[in-house]
Amino acid sequence: MPADPAPRWQRRREARPAELLEAAAACFGETGYQATRVEEIASRAGVTVGTVYRYFPNKEALFAAVLDESRKALPSGWAVAERDPGRLLRETIDRWWGFLAEPAQSVLLRASLAPSAETPEAATLYAREVRSRLEQQLGGVIRLGMAAGVFRSVDVGGVSRSLADALLGGALTRAAAPSAPGDDPAGYLAILFSTLVNGIVNRAPPPAPAERAAPATGRTEPGAAARAESW
C-alpha cells in the first residue's frame, strides 16, 4: 500500500485554514461578530493567536471567510419543468426555513441584517445576497404557478418580499429567544404556507387545454416557458 507522500506536519498545515474557519464559525455563531475575540477562536481551534493571524490578517477577514463558507450552503434553485407549483412552493419554503433557522446561521444573519458602524461590509453584502436569492426563488415558483393557472395574478415582487420577511423574521426571532412551551416551528410554517396559498391560489380551475387560446405564431406559450425555467 503506497504511503501518503505528504508529511504529517504538512498535511496538518494544509488543514489549518479549514480548522480555523470551523472554530470561527462556532464562535461567531454563539456570540456574534462584535463580541467574538480572536483569542477565543484560537483557543477553540487549539492554536496560538499568532497562528490565526498567520492565515487571516484580522477578525474582519476571518469573518468574511466564514461568510464565504456559509454561501456554499445557500439553497440553490432547481429545474421546475412539470412540477406542481403548490408543492414546489412548499418545498422551497421548507428548504429555506431549514437553512435560516440553523442556529449558527441565524446568528450570522442577525449580525448581517442589523448593520451598525462596526459591522463589516462583507456582512452587509452577505445579507443582501441571502435575501436576493430567497426572493428570486420564491418569485420563480409564483410565476410558474401563475403561468399554469394555479395561482391568480399577483404582484410577484411584493408577495416574494412579504414571504421573505416572514421567513427571515420567524427563523431569526425564534433563534434569538428561547422557545416557549408548545412552540412548534412546523406549525408556524404550516400557518404561513396556508395563509399564503389562500391568498394567491386561483379558485377558478384553469381552462381546459382545448379552451385555451392558441399562441401567436412565433411566440412561446407563457406556461411552457415558465415550466422550463430554472433558477
- Are residue 54 and residue 111 in the same domain, yes or no? no
| Judgement on whether residues 44 and 140 belong to the same structural domain of the protein | no
Cell numbers at 61, concatenated: 477577514
CATH number at residue 36: 1.10.10.60
Share of the chain above pLDDT 70, in %: 71
Number of domains in the chain: 2
Decide if 142 contacts 160 (C-beta within 8 A).
yes
8 vs 27: which has the higher pLDDT:
27
Find out whether 167 and 100 touch, Cβ atoms under 8 Å: yes
Distance between CA 185 and CA 171 in Å, rounded?
A: 9
Q: Which of 67, 183, 191 is nearest to 130 (CA)?
A: 67
pLDDT in tens, 24-57: 988 887 777 888 899 999 999 999 999 999 999 9
Q: Is residue 28 part of a domain?
A: yes
The pLDDT value recorded for residue 207 is: 59
Instruction: Report pLDDT for 226.
Output: 41
- In this structure, the answer to whether residues 36 and 108 fall within a common structural domain is no
Mean pLDDT comparison of 42-56, 72-86, 106-120, highest-scoring range? 42-56
**Residue 180: pLDDT over 80:** no
Q: What is the pLDDT of residue 44?
A: 94
CA geometry: angle at 64 spanning 62 and 66, to 5°?
70
- Return d(Cα 86, Cα 193) in angstroms, integer: 10
* 116 and 53 share one domain: no
Residues 105 and 140 in one domain: yes
pLDDT at 113 over 60: yes
- Whether residue 135 lies inside any domain: the answer is yes
Q: Is residue 190 part of a domain?
A: yes
Angle at 200 between CA 198 and CA 192, to 5 degrees: 50
Q: What is the mean pLDDT of residues 7-35?
A: 76
Does residue 95 share a domain with residue 57? no
- Cell numbers linked to 177: 429567544
Query: Are residues 178 and 91 part of one domain?
Result: yes
Is residue 3 pLDDT above 60, yes or no? no
For the residues 121-150, what does the mean pLDDT come to?
90
**Whole-prediction pTM:** 0.72
* Closest C-alpha among 100, 99, 122 to residue 112: 122
Distance CA(102)–CA(29), nearest Å, equals 10
**pLDDT higher than threshold 60 for residue 225:** no
Residue 88 pLDDT > 80: yes
Residues 42 and 140 in one domain: no
Residues 96 and 18 in one domain: no
The residue range of the domain holding 21 is 9-65
Q: Kindly state whether residues 96 and 200 are assigned to the same domain.
A: yes
Tell me: do 157 and 195 sit in the same domain.
yes
Overall average pLDDT of the 51-73 stretch: 92
Same domain, 102 and 151: yes
